[in-house]
Amino acid sequence: MLQTDVLVIGAGAVGCAIARELTKYRLKVLVVDKNEDVGGEASKSNSAIIHTGYDAPPGTLESQLVVAANPMYELLTKQLDVPYQKVGAILPAFTDEQFEKLPALKAKAFQNRVYDVEYLTGEQLLAMEPNLNPEVKAGLYIPRENIIDPFLLVVAYAENAQQNGAHFLLNTQVTGIRVENGRVVGAQTTAGEVQATYIVNAAGLYCDDVAAMVGKNDYTVNPRKGQFYILDKNTTCKVNHIVLPIPTKVTKGKLMCPTIHGNMLVGPTAEELEDKQDYSTTSEGLASIETDVRRLIPNVNLKDSITQYCGLRPNRNPEGLHVDTYDDVKNYVNLSGVRSTGLTASASLGKYVAQRLIEIGMPVNFNPDFDPIRKGIPRFHEMTYEEQDALIRENPLYGKVICRCETITEGEIVEAIHRPIPARSVDAIKRRLRAGMGRCQGGFCGPRVIEILGRELGVSTEEIRKNQTGSHMITGKVRGERVIANV
């Protein structure tokens, strides 16, 4: 039986951030996740923005956490070697009705203690963002809304946690939590029993199911689908800032922004669902993005889209970000209502949850060996020719380009497969390195990545998955040794 001091359920951005924070103490930390990789759900399909919290509901825990988290990313992304770029957001008003909302939006930012929001004139906004709808009257500038590589943030939290002693058990689902004498003592998982002194529920979309295991399901979570377009780096109409619409009573609306890698991101929709497995884009949803974003950026060219995807935001009913502890279920922390601001809030939530654990009795023994530095995989395409040459001389695999669109080398792929948190699926490689994320969407590198994964993992290619169990890429050999996979 596995034994741990703290069991974290869920290896998304928040779960991995909590795990990393807990390794600053002398504790055994175990993270379990039902997916094959860290960051497999909402953390991988969001708008990749580090928010300021300017529009959070004032006075809430969500507001405090997001506002506190934003300034942490400067140092955190350096320590963890995660691409992070300061771009700033603009909130342009095109109609009189929108114009009249600006003072209230600025006042709300002040209530959230985001004091650096500025009014800008239409001319100023057009000078900053020439592709903006020229009917712009005025707007707000929110300088610290920034962009990040969301996949690498999660991987980096996890790898740094692991390197400081945390354990990760992936492909493992929690099926029950054992409560004895009013306190949690362990969990049943698909990989066996885990004995744990403390349990943290960071299961995101499924946090209500986990909470039900300790009888604390006084809320429900339904998915709120967000569909997005990703546009080619060479698209004809680009923006330099995060361009946000003025929110209405119904929705925060659809935005357009650059990604950290120079693509354009357009979306999301906001659709209330019941089915937590509905990962399908729809023609209606995608059409609504086009209609709405054209009001901001009239010449946006969605024909330049290289892919479309959707994410499921965990929508809590009733609303609100909660971190709860209970008198009748001791040693247990329940997170719920972590929604689209969760990626940003992960930095402060890690610390907040650690503090809550200390408040409920977790012993405070600092780990003097904690190392906050995580070195990422060398990014060949970002290097100078001299640096590339030196790297190839060290390891010739860096001389072989596998993904032609994003210039990702075999050296990087092989390293990703053998990292502390290994990439064992085609999507895990894609999220860490961007191989297959470019304009040919893996048409060129896909067959080669399957081959490298099989070789490096020492398994037959029929075992290679796109992501989870059942998502096999290959159904058998054409000739010779014939293995029929379960289709």
For position 265 contacting other proteins by CB under 8 A, the verdict is: no
Please, which residue, 285 or 422, has the CB nearer to other proteins? 285
Stretch that binds other proteins, among 85-93, 213-221, 251-259, 387-395 (CB under 8 A): 387-395
**Cα 61 to Cα 320: distance, rounded to the nearest angstrom:** 8
Note the maximum CA span of the chain: 72
**Binding test (CB under 8 A) with other proteins, winner from 400, 418, 455, 459:** 400
| End-to-end CA, the chain | 34
**Cα 69 to Cα 22: distance, rounded to the nearest angstrom:** 17
Which tokens belong to 119? 């009014």
Stretch that binds other proteins, among 76-84, 245-253, 261-269, 401-409 (CB under 8 A): 401-409
* Shortest Å, Cβ 271 to other proteins: 13
Which tokens belong to 362? 């977790």
Stretch that binds other proteins, among 121-129, 133-141, 338-346, 392-400 (CB under 8 A): 392-400
Catalytic residue among 51, 167, 322, 418: 51
**Cα 211 to Cα 333: distance, rounded to the nearest angstrom:** 10
Please, which residue, 322 or 432, has the CB nearer to other proteins? 432
* Shortest Å, Cβ 25 to other proteins: 38
**Cα 338 to Cα 314: distance, rounded to the nearest angstrom:** 7
The type of residue at 388 is Q
Q: Residue 264's beta-bridge partner residues? A: 231, 258
Cα–chain center distance at 328: 33
CB 121 within 8 A of CB 99: no
The type of residue at 389 is D
**Cα 278 to Cα 284: distance, rounded to the nearest angstrom:** 15
* Shortest Å, Cβ 244 to other proteins: 24
Q: Give the count of beta carbons closer than 10 Å to the beta carbon of residue 190.
A: 12
Count of alpha carbons within 13 Å of 45, Cβ hemisphere only? Answer: 25
Please, which residue, 121 or 475, has the CB nearer to other proteins? 475
* Shortest Å, Cβ 386 to other proteins: 8
The footprint of other proteins on residues 195-224 (CB under 8 A) is none
For position 291 contacting other proteins by CB under 8 A, the verdict is: no
The footprint of other proteins on residues 139-198 (CB under 8 A) is none
Collapsed DSSP state (helix, strand, coil) of residue 308? strand
For position 376 contacting other proteins by CB under 8 A, the verdict is: no
* Shortest Å, Cβ 406 to other proteins: 11
- The H-or-E segment that residue 332 falls in is strand 332-336
Residue 255 neighbours by CB under 8 Å, 6+ apart: 47, 242, 243, 244, 245, 265, 266, 267, 293, 296
**Binding test (CB under 8 A) with other proteins, winner from 3, 234, 248, 317:** 234
Stretch that binds other proteins, among 108-116, 204-212, 348-356, 399-407 (CB under 8 A): 399-407
Please, which residue, 36 or 208, has the CB nearer to other proteins? 36
For position 283 contacting other proteins by CB under 8 A, the verdict is: yes
For position 282 contacting other proteins by CB under 8 A, the verdict is: yes
For position 393 contacting other proteins by CB under 8 A, the verdict is: yes
Please, which residue, 317 or 469, has the CB nearer to other proteins? 469
**Binding test (CB under 8 A) with other proteins, winner from 43, 189, 201, 467:** 467
* Shortest Å, Cβ 439 to other proteins: 8
**Binding test (CB under 8 A) with other proteins, winner from 195, 301, 367, 468:** 468
The footprint of other proteins on residues 424-463 (CB under 8 A) is 426, 439-444, 446-447, 450-451, 461
**Cα 53 to Cα 109: distance, rounded to the nearest angstrom:** 8
**Cα 156 to Cα 154: distance, rounded to the nearest angstrom:** 5
Please, which residue, 364 or 478, has the CB nearer to other proteins? 478
Binding residue count for other proteins, defined by CB under 8 A: 60
* Shortest Å, Cβ 265 to other proteins: 13
For position 237 contacting other proteins by CB under 8 A, the verdict is: no
* Shortest Å, Cβ 77 to other proteins: 27
Handedness of CA 417, 419, 420, 426 (dihedral sign): negative
The type of residue at 278 is D
**Cα 374 to Cα 462: distance, rounded to the nearest angstrom:** 33
Task: State the binding string over 298-317 for other proteins (x if CB under 8 A, else -).
Answer: -------xxxxx--------
Residue 50 neighbours by CB under 8 Å, 6+ apart: 69, 70, 73, 84, 145, 146, 147, 148, 343, 344
* Shortest Å, Cβ 440 to other proteins: 5
Handedness of CA 319, 309, 43, 237 (dihedral sign): negative
Q: Is-catalytic flag, 51?
A: yes
Instruction: Quickly tell me which residue has 């408040």 as its tokens.
Output: 359
Please, which residue, 178 or 472, has the CB nearer to other proteins? 472
Give the residues lining the site for other proteins (CB under 8 A): 230, 234, 277, 279-283, 285-286, 305-309, 385-386, 388-389, 392-393, 396-401, 404-405, 407, 409, 426, 439-444, 446-447, 450-451, 461, 465-480, 487
Catalytic residue annotation: 51
